[in-house]
Amino acid sequence: MVANLEATIEDLYRAPGKAEIVNGEIVLMSPTGAAPNYAAMEITFSLRNYCKRTKKGYPVADNAAFHVRLPNRKSFSPDAAYYVGKWTGMKFFEGAPTFAVEVRSEGDYGPAAERAMAAKRSDYFAAGTLIVWDVDLLSENVVKSYKANDADRPVIFRRGELANAEPAVPGWSMPVDDLFIELEN
C-alpha cells in the first residue's frame, strides 16, 4: 500500500516560483501581467509608507508566503499584504496577514474563478485575516473590500475614491486611482 503524502512547508521552500499549499498539494501560480503587477506594487508601496510612519506592522510584496495551519490549506501568497506578527527573517511569515490583497489577472474571471476566489477568502478569514481586497482593474467596482465579520457584503471602492482596510490597517487609505498607470501617447 502506498500512502498519499501531503506537501509540506519544506516542499514549498523548494517550489519553482510563486505557489501555495492547498488540499495537500503545491499549487503553482502563474506570473501576472503589467497592470495587475503595477496595482499590487502601488498597494505595497502605500503600505510601506504607512508602516514607516506608524512604526507598526510590515508591508508584504508579491511572492511572499504565509504559513498557516488550516485543514485544507498550509499557505497563502497574496499579491500584497499587511502583517503584524513576529518577524521571521529568511523564513516564511508565520500566520495569516492581517490584510490580504488579491489582484485579478487575466485568468481570474468566470464562474470557476469566482468560486475559487470566494473559497480563498473564506480560508483567509478562517486563518485570521481581517480584510481581503479583491482588486479588479477591469471593473467599475475596482476594489471589493471583504471583512471577516461580514464576508458576504463587500465595501466597494471606485475610481476617484479613497480605499481603506479598516480595521485591519487603522488610519491607512490610498487613492483607487493610484492602482492605474496613466500613460501619455
Q: What is the 3-state secondary structure (H, E, C) of 78-109?
A: CCEEEECCCCCCCCCEECCCCEEEEECCCCCC
Per-residue pLDDT of the chain (185 residues; tens, 9 = 90+): 555 689 999 999 999 989 999 999 999 998 899 999 999 999 999 999 999 999 999 999 999 999 999 999 999 999 999 999 999 999 999 999 999 999 999 989 999 999 999 999 999 999 999 999 999 999 999 999 999 999 999 999 999 999 999 999 999 999 999 999 976 55
Nearest CA among 62, 75, 91, 72 for reference residue 21: 75
Please check whether residue 62 is in contact with residue 40, taking contact to mean a CB–CB distance below 8 angstroms.
yes
Query: Cα dist. 1→8, 25, 60, 143 in Å?
Result: 21, 20, 43, 49
Global confidence as pTM: 0.94
Residue 51 to residue 169: CA distance in whole angstroms: 10
Rounded (5°) CA angle 45-88-164: 30
